[in-house]
Each structure stands twice: as structure tokens, then as C-alpha cells.
Amino acid sequence: MVWVPLRPTRTDRRAPLRAPTHCGTTMSLEWLMGWSWSLDGLRDFIATGIQSFRDCDATALAAVACFLVLFVWYCYHVGREQPRAYATVNALMQSAEANGVQNGYVYCHSPECVRCTHHDGLNQKLYHNLQEYAKRYSWSGMGRIHKGIREQGRYLNSRPSIQKPEVFFLPDLPTTPYFSRDAQKHDVELLERNFQTILCEFETLYKAFSNCSLPQGWKMNSTPSGEWFTFYLVNQGMCVPRNCRRCPRTYRLLGSLRTCIGNNVFGNACISVLSPGTVIAEHYGPTNIRIRCHLGLKTPSNCELVVGGEPQCWAEGRCLLFDDSFLHTAFHEGAPEDGPRVVFMVDLWHPNVAAAERQALDFIFAPGR
């Protein structure tokens, strides 16, 4: 007698394939019919679900487990991302009231601020920001910025003492302490045409000094001697709304400038006042990508600006352009009756920084990034 194994019938072979369908149907019906917000309903639902899973085969359980893992990973990925602080000056003006504002002046509270904090990880942070920008837009035109970030330590340490930007040096830019008026001709002429407008708004602000030592909105800066006050409309790329509302025409004028730096931490606009007998200590600016423009509002005699060892004098209604990454100082040696030296200061782009580079630098050095 020969033993022959029996073949399973077609019904036998199909039976296991119907199990997942039965499992899914059972779970769906139990979900719809047995769900209740009561504790008893929840207990019954959990028990039914466990039993339904027991009835399912390994393939169905593995698929459910994969979906759960993917869902947990998605929640973690979305939750860990932080919003980017990248906005125009007008948008910042609407939201900056909620930020750290003291006496009408925006102070930096972030230990990661590249403008105020120097640390070993700065270059890595800048390179990460550049990579993020290139992924969103393009690497085209980023050669100098990439080179500057990659070799930033060498550039900053090997620069001659006459020019040492403290935060960021962009290589291959023409180097000179002062710039001619033609470097940013449109903006220079626009500022000079509005000289009287800016002067009138300053005089209205300055009347408050007769009532108190430091009126609201003004900041006193540290100096070896004398007094140096500033009234910021834009400070490190952040608008100061309360101050802008007090100088509405001057603030609107900033929006008409073609090369004003308003979207990164190297951009500032303020009224700067030196009292007689004041000396500003020699110092370097943070970067060479900008030109600092001074529009003279009140310029008594015996006042000088010295940049890179070269002295210059201000003139009322005229703009003076210089690179503040050079060692520079200013002083007012006039008599008390001469009154203060007053300039309207605004940071403009260096004329040799290309449009694509400006956009990338705005992204890399956006306030709060």
C-alpha cells in the first residue's frame, strides 16, 4: 500500500486569504457599533481590538506596525522644526512690540545672535544657513560667500589691524576707508533732498531732553568722555515701532532707499547725537558688506570722524560715506555753547555686493536666525 499526501482543496487554499478581510471587517463593525465615551465602552473597545488583532495574520500586524512607526516619525519631524525669523522691516514693525523692547530700543536676548556673540561654532552655523539657502534657491553666485565662510577664521585673524570686521568678512571687495558720493548716488541724493524733513523731526524729539535726562526711545552709549545718544528706527535689522511712529516721514523715507540694509542684523538706521566734549573710543564694525552713511543735521566746528587714520568733517545737509569695518573714532571738541553734533545714520549695501549675494546674506543673517 502506497501513502499519497492529500492535496488541499481550493476551499482550503483560499481560507487563509479571507482572514485579513474578516479581521478588517470585524474591527470596523466593532468600532462603529461598540464605541462609547464611557469607561465600559472604552474597555470593551480595547478588548475587542486586542481580540481582532489576535485573529489577524502576521502580515496585517506588520503593516499596522509600520504605519504606527511612520506616524510617530512624522510627528517627531514636524514637532522639532522651528519657525524662521525672516521678514521685511515693515512686517517686523508690526510684530516687534512683542519682542524685548526697553526704553524704545530693541535689545538682543539670544545667546546665539551672530551679531553680538562670538563663539567657536559661528562658522558652522553660517555654513548651515548657507546650505539651507542654496537648497531653497541656488548655489549660483554664492562663490564669495562660500569662500568667506569657509575661511572666515583666517580672514579675520590675518587682516591688517586697520580693518578687522568683528563678525563677517566678505573677500574680494574693494577696500577703502571712505567712499565717494557716487557709490550710492540715488540714496545719497534722496537723503540730502529730505534734509529739512529729517532735521525737523529730530528737533521735535530733542525738545524732550529739556524735561528729563534720557527721554523715552533714546539710548545712552558708553564713551570715555562726554555723552553719546542714539535714537534707533531700525536696530540690527529689527524695526523699533514706537520710535518709527515718532518719526513717520523719516521712516517712510527708508522705504524709498534702494540700497538700505533692512532685513539682516547688519542694518541700522538712527539719529546719533554727540554732546560737546565727547569722544567715541576706537572700534571696528561687524562686517565689510555695508557702507555707513552719515547725513549731517547739525555739524558745529571742532567735530571730526577718523576712519583708518584719515580724518573727515561732517557738513550739514551732506552725506559722508565710510566703511566702518576699518578702525574708526569720532569726537566733538567744541564748546558747550556750540551745541551737539547730530547726524542721521543709515547702513547701505557695499556697491560691489551683487544682488544674489545680498539676498543670500539677508537669509543667512536674518534677525533671530
Whole-angstrom Cα distance, residue 368 to residue 366? 6
pLDDT of 44 above 50: yes
The structural domain count of the chain equals 1
Instruction: Give me the domain span that covers residue 289.
Output: 181-355
Structural contact between residues 221 and 234, judged by C-beta atoms closer than 8 angstroms: no
> For residue range 337-354, what is the model confidence (pLDDT) as tens digits?
999 999 999 999 999 999
Helix (H) / strand (E) containing 219? strand 219-221
More confident residue, 53 or 359: 359
Query: 102-117 pLDDT, tens per residue?
Result: 433 334 444 444 445 5
Which three-class secondary structure state does DSSP give residue 262? coil
CATH number for the domain spanning 328: value is 2.60.120.330
Distance CA 126, CA 169 (A): 12
Supply the pLDDT for residue 236: 95
When the pLDDT of each residue in the chain is averaged and rounded to a whole number, the result is 80
Per-residue pLDDT tens over the stretch 144-196: 999 999 888 777 777 778 999 989 999 999 999 999 999 999 999 999 999 99
Overall average pLDDT of the 230-242 stretch: 96
Task: Determine, yes or no, domain membership for 112.
Answer: no
H/E stretch holding 243 reads helix 241-246
Structure-model confidence comparison of residues 21 and 321, the more confident one = 321
Judge whether 173 lies within some domain.
no
Is residue 72 scored above 90 in pLDDT? no
- Cβ neighbours for 183, distance < 8 A, ≥ 6 positions apart: 291, 321, 351
**Whole-angstrom Cα distance, residue 291 to residue 289?**
7
Q: Percentage of the chain with pLDDT > 90?
A: 59
Is 243 a member of any domain? yes
Query: Would 196 be classed as within a structural domain?
Result: yes
DSSP 271-306: EEEE-TTEEEEEE--SBSSEEEEEEEEE--SSEEEE
Torsion of CA 272, 255, 328, 222, to 10 degrees: 40
**235 domain-assigned:** yes
Residue 169 belongs to a domain: no
According to the model, what pLDDT value does residue 84 have? 37
Report how far residue 347's alpha carbon sits from residue 291's, in angstroms, rounded to the nearest whole number: 6
Residue 200 burial (CB < 10 Å; 0-12/13-18/19+)?
middle
The answer to whether residue 273 is domain-embedded is yes
Q: What single string gives the DSSP state of each residue in 89-158? A: HHHHHHHGGGS-EETTEE----TT-TTT---TTHHHHHHHHHHHHHHHS-STT-HHHHHHHHTHHHHHHH
Angstrom distance (rounded) from CA 310 to CA 177:
8
| Any domain includes 99 | no
